[in-house]
Each structure stands twice: as structure tokens, then as C-alpha cells.
Amino acid sequence: MLSDAAARWLAVTAVGLIATACSPPSQEQAGAAEGQTRTFYIAADPVDWDYAPAGNTLGPHYDADAPTFLETGPQRIGRIDRKSVYRAYTDRTFTTLAPRASEWEHLGMLGPMIHAEVGDTVKVVFKNNTPHPASVHPHGVLYDKASEGADYEDQTAGEQKTDDAVPEGGEHTYTWEIPSGPGPDPTTAARSCGRTTPTPTRSPTPTPA
């Protein structure tokens, strides 16, 4: 467990979301259906992440070097560090985490999978629970300026900037259209989303509580 004082200085990592577009419509279906709207509730949460919950699992040969990576010290982070983890929730109250399917447990601290089909509209209701600005920026989908989620000098202001860097405790709804391009083909069936706001500087050493 890290102290609040130390946590304020820990870096927030860019955590990926993956949007997959599957089941493209057949020629008979094309034009007959407009797709559906799929809503996802995702928050950026501060999480004390244990990189080595089982300790040294590499064997006795690494016992001498293990403390360098697993123990906290004057110049050492140790095995636990606070991260910004993108997590799925069941509804917009953001009180109950959505279960992660067993086939995605290997993603670890990566964000949840967003499943959609060609022709669908994806709405991501995003809440930032971290003390730093955060956003969600997609690739391979269609969106208007208010759903870009990229923080850069684009000569916009006011409401057009609310998606770029959601403040602590703030919410923003991103709306994306799934075109035929991200649909499955022999080489790829996935697109990624990520955080684009600047990463703050961290202190050299977190302090155990």
C-alpha cells in the first residue's frame, strides 16, 4: 500500500483499450440494417499494481538480483507502483466493476475489450478517477471533433476541448461509428484506443504506508 503523499507523484501510464469490429454484414444485409448502439462505461482508476505478486519466480539463480527489482529503496520503486488503469463498469454510477471474461485475463493492466460490429455506433461513457487529466483516443473508427480525445493545439476552445483532457472526477461521452475498414480481414481485426494526455513526472521513490 502506498501513502497518499507518494501517490500524488506517481506516473499515470497510458493504458490501451482495444476495439474490435467483427461480423461485417453480408451483401444481402448491407444497407438493410443501420447497426446498433453499444454503450460501455469505462473509468480511469488509480490502482496500486503489483508487478511481481509471487515474488521471484525465476529461480535461485536470480536471488541475488531480485531485491533490485522487488524491494523499495532510496532509488528503487519496488514491486508495487500506482498506475492509472482503465476499467469497465456495469453502468454510469461507476460503482460495480464489470467482470472480465477469462479469455482476457492475460491483458493484466490493459483496458477492457470493446466489441462492436460494422455499422454499429459505440458510446463510451468515460470517468476520470485519477488526479491527472485523462482521455480516450480511438483509431480506425469515425468520430466528430467532440469525440477525438486527443490533447493537442488544434485551435479549438470551450466545449470542443472537453474530450481532450477530462479532469479529475469529470466525465465525457465519446461516440464512434464503426466503418467497414476495421472489420476482420486476413491480417487484422483489431484497433486500439489509448490515453493522449501528458504523463506527469513521478517521484523517484514511492513510500510504503
pLDDT tens for 124-165 read 999 999 999 999 998 888 999 889 988 888 888 887 788 998
Residue with cell 503489483: 50
Residue whose C-alpha is closest to residue 130's, from 8, 37, 1, 15: 8
pLDDT number for residue 98: 95
pTM: 0.73
Distance separating alpha carbons of residues 50 and 85, to the nearest angstrom: 13
> Taken in order 159, 161, 162, 163, is the CA torsion positive or negative?
positive
Assess whether pLDDT exceeds 80 at residue 188. Answer: no
Q: What is the DSSP string of 84-133?
A: EEEEEESSTT--SBPPPPGGGGGGTTS--EEEEETT-EEEEEEEE-SSS-
pLDDT number for residue 139: 84
**How do the domains of the chain map onto residue ranges?**
4-47+83-194
pLDDT number for residue 30: 46
Assess whether pLDDT exceeds 60 at residue 8. Answer: no
Assess whether pLDDT exceeds 80 at residue 119. Answer: yes
pLDDT tens readout for residues 17-67: 344 434 444 444 444 346 899 999 999 999 998 888 888 788 888 888 888
Length of the chain: 209
- Do 21 and 184 contact (CB within 8 A), yes or no? yes
pLDDT band at 208 (very low <50, low <70, confident <90, very high): very low
Class of domain 4-47+83-194: mainly beta
Q: What are phi and psi of 134, to 5 degrees?
A: -145, 160
The sheet with strand 80-89 has its strands ordered as 80-89, 37-50, 121-128, 171-177
Q: What percent of the chain has pLDDT over 90?
A: 29
pLDDT number for residue 86: 93
Assess whether pLDDT exceeds 60 at residue 87. Answer: yes
Residue whose C-alpha is closest to residue 117's, from 182, 56, 200, 27: 182
